[in-house]
Structure 1
Amino acid sequence: MTQKSILVVEDNLETRELLTYNLKNAGYAVREAGDAVKALELAARARPDLVLLDVMLPGGMDGLEVCRRLKQDERTRGVPVIMLTALGDEVDRIVGLELGAEDYVPKPFSPRELLLRIKAVLRRSGSAAEESSAGFSEGGLNIDFEAHSVTIDGADIGLTSTEHKILRELVRAKGRVLQRDRLLDTVWDTDFDGTSRTVDTHMRRLRGKLGAYADWIETVRGVGYRFKPLAQAKE
């Protein structure tokens, strides 16, 4: 099995060394960056399998801005990001998810919990990359993007074209939270004069058709939606 690589972006030397020590002991290859500029350079050049990114960084560019740039750069857009945030700092967590981060871990953190979060994100990222181009299948739910078909236990649930597009965007986001505005731009025409309530209405109808799988579309309060199958929700 190919060794997974992780880029640790943390300005505090003691914390960075602790993270590196635990990650290497867990079998990961580790690269380190103590500031935003080096982090962006290493991410683009080394293409890590995951970036562990502290929100508080020196030099005028914080971790949230680094996350934004990583998700905008074609070279690093698909690299999952886990944000390290201050305990109880809900604003940083929400903004990080809005920018495309896959998960966040509050400080101080348990090394064991962090390793479990990393493992879960890498697993989701890997399985989603394989499935997202053609579709998704788990339990009784089967999504075939090419055939524009969504079935539950073999029965087609009759999604509209818009509902199918919404579900496709959620699945292809690989567990990332999608903002309502982004869904408006990608699912509807850019000139469409809709609001966030338009997205909420279609999401409610989509969940209704998904029946027992409705909870797999998770609402992230104040941010948007993400697709999180039951197996992932238990991680």
Structure 2
Amino acid sequence: MASVAVDLKQIENAEKQKQLSLLLVDDDVELCGMMREFFTQEGHHLDCAYNGRDGLSAALNGIYDLVILDVMLPVVDGFELLQRLRKRKDLPIIMLTARVQQQDRIRGLDSGADDYLPKPFDPDELLARVRAVLRRSESLTRAESEDIVIGNICVNPTTREVWLDGELVELTATEFDLLEMLMRAAGRVVSRDEITAALFEREATPYDRFLDVHISHLRKKLEGGRGLIRTVRGVGYVFTGAA
């Protein structure tokens, strides 16, 4: 147990020491200035764009670890920007929204966001969310590298590719991590709490549709009428691999 604690400590230290390059797209100039100062003090680099058109150009042409994207933007709104970006580049994306309606958050997830954070927010929580999203993208790749093959689905943890009947399937980073977790536990019910804690590093809530949206996406992309992922009401999900 002691060696595990040391390993976790080393991972945390390395994570804090790594400089991240981030893009914040938000028309609130004051907020952008505050966030730039905060992330600079934490040892990271943050660029800002103040409308959707400039944000899309910066995201496509720059080299960033993650994009933080406001929903309500001039010229091109956050939802449209997200959809355009997802078609051309695979970047982790966290959406910010001042809207309280859950359907707005679900719409962001439907468009491919990896996480969302309501405004107003604590900068420390935003940084924690950034690290959690990036950790999800990297940790499973560092884990087991052998292909996971169940039925006609093959998952390659090293290249983070998913193949269905020999055809490559495009998944977002969150969809990939969720599928890999379920396939590694195939035949066992994985609770919503377990998934939320492992992938999103927060507690599940009864009204959180985050997981439901991503499960729905996986079913549409992989099942084709087959019941590969079964919902166990009130508990979680199980990958059955049913033909």
Normalised by the shorter chain, which TM-score bucket? 0.5 to 0.7
Matched, 1:90 2:106: no
TM-score (norm 1): 0.63
Deviation of 1:216 after TM superposition, in Å, equals 7.4
User: How large is the Cα RMSD of the aligned pairs?
Assistant: 3.3
Equivalent residues in 2 for 1:196-211, closer than 5 Å: 198=226, 201-204=227-230
Asked if structure 2 preserves the Cα contact closer than 8 Å seen for 1:87 and 1:108, the reply is no
Report the 3-state secondary structure (helix = DSSP H, G, I; strand = E; otherwise coil) of the residue aligned with 2:174: coil
Asked if structure 1 preserves the Cα contact closer than 8 Å seen for 2:92 and 2:173, the reply is no
Equivalent residues in 2 for 1:183-198, closer than 5 Å: 183-184=219-220, 186-187=221-222, 194=225, 198=226
Aligned pair count reads: 174
Matched, 1:36 2:52: yes
Equivalent residues in 2 for 1:1-235, closer than 5 Å: 3-59=19-75, 61-73=76-88, 76-77=89-90, 79-128=91-140, 130=141, 137=144, 144-145=146-147, 148=149, 159-161=150-152, 169=162, 173-176=172-175, 178=214, 180=216, 183-184=219-220, 186-187=221-222, 194=225, 198=226, 201-204=227-230, 215=236
Q: Deviations over 1:176-207 (max 9, x none)?
A: 464636643x435xxx6x4xxx5xx32118x8
Distance 1:23 1:181 in 2: 33
Asked if structure 2 preserves the Cα contact closer than 8 Å seen for 1:98 and 1:179, the reply is no
Report the 3-state secondary structure (helix = DSSP H, G, I; strand = E; otherwise coil) of the residue aligned with 1:88: coil
CA spacing shift, 1:41–1:183, aligned 2, 3 Å: same
Distance 2:238 2:74 in 1: 37
CA spacing shift, 1:125–1:217, aligned 2, 3 Å: farther
Distance 1:72 1:97 in 2: 15
Distance 2:87 2:215 in 1: 15
The runs of 5 or more residues in structure 1 that have no matched partner are 138-142, 149-158, 208-213, 219-235
Deviation of 1:91 after TM superposition, in Å, equals 1.6
Distance 2:61 2:109 in 1: 24
The runs of 5 or more residues in structure 2 that have no matched partner are 1-16, 163-168, 176-212
TM-score (norm 2): 0.61
Asked if structure 2 preserves the Cα contact closer than 8 Å seen for 1:5 and 1:30, the reply is yes
CA spacing shift, 1:112–1:181, aligned 2, 3 Å: closer
Report the 3-state secondary structure (helix = DSSP H, G, I; strand = E; otherwise coil) of the residue aligned with 1:56: coil
Distance 1:65 1:24 in 2: 29
Runs of 4+ in 1 over 4 A off after TM superposition: 167-170, 214-218
CA spacing shift, 1:48–1:106, aligned 2, 3 Å: same
Distance 1:216 1:51 in 2: 30
Q: Deviations over 1:49-98 (max 9, x none)?
A: 10000000012x2101111111100xx22x10000012522122101111
Distance 1:93 1:50 in 2: 19
